[in-house]
Amino acid sequence: MNDNTRKIIYTVLIGLPTILIVWTFSLYFFGCGTTNTCSGLPEAVVTPIPTLHPAAMPAPKVGVDAVPSAPRCRVSALKLLGAWVDAGYSETETFSFTDVKGVNCTANYKDDVQKLFTTPNLWYDGAQACITCHYADIAKATKNMDLSSYSGILAGSNRVNGAAKGNDILGGGVWANALMRQMLYAPDGKTEINRPPMPLGRPANVPADGPVISAGTPPLP
């Protein structure tokens, strides 16, 4: 073996481990600083779970809600009631009325009229529903009158001793003559018959014909 060969062997034998040590050490030093835990490095700014972008779209509707709601007409409570009574106050048949825009709309008792008697806060903010006082237990209800059902409304008021029929409040199908209208029509908070306007406690700023509400549907385009 000559000297040159020996040199090469020694160089390789010493050089390779040296390179290995330096390389390992540099990995350790530059990767983790001088600590064992790598805590010397700034922590990576990442969330533990991938960031989800907040949904920008409204939640999709399912079931009945998925059916787009039909456009509704706007009309005053008394005009709606009047149209219903003058059309013969049917429980199931539709009736028509002219809305605030002059459109000829269609409504029915169940979807449009009944809520005038059963919904609180409808006539004004803070209003009690008619049925709070005029409910099915006619022995106890105010004026022995039940406005909670179609048959109750038709049976009328003052059904003392549980009478099946009382005083007609629908004017025999003529709204202009109806006691219901006289108790509800209240310009400046006063009825024309000097009785308290309904719903009882109704403030003077409620329009004479009651609030304008959404009811009925316009004709199909």
Interface positions with ligand HEC (CB under 6 A) = 117, 123, 128, 130, 132-134, 142-143, 145, 147, 157-158, 167, 169, 179-180, 183-184, 195-196, 198-200
The angle at the Cα of 83, spanning 164 to 122, to the nearest 5 degrees, equals 80
| Minimum CB–partner distance for residue 65 and ligand HEC (Å) | 30
| Minimum CB–partner distance for residue 193 and ligand HEC (Å) | 9
| Minimum CB–partner distance for residue 102 and ligand HEC (Å) | 26
DSSP 166: -
Nearest to 180 by CA among 126, 132, 134, 120: 134
Q: Which is nearer to ligand HEC, 105 or 206 (CB)?
A: 206
Q: How many CA atoms lie within 13 A of 130 on its CB side?
A: 23
Q: Which is nearer to ligand HEC, 28 or 109 (CB)?
A: 109
Q: Which residues have a Cβ under 8 Å from the Cβ of 40 and sit 6 or more positions away?
A: 32, 33, 34
**Alpha carbon separation from 180 to 56, 156, 166, 167, 177 (Å, rounded):** 49, 10, 14, 11, 9
Q: Which is nearer to ligand HEC, 73 or 186 (CB)?
A: 186
| Minimum CB–partner distance for residue 123 and ligand HEC (Å) | 6
Q: Which is nearer to ligand HEC, 129 or 217 (CB)?
A: 129
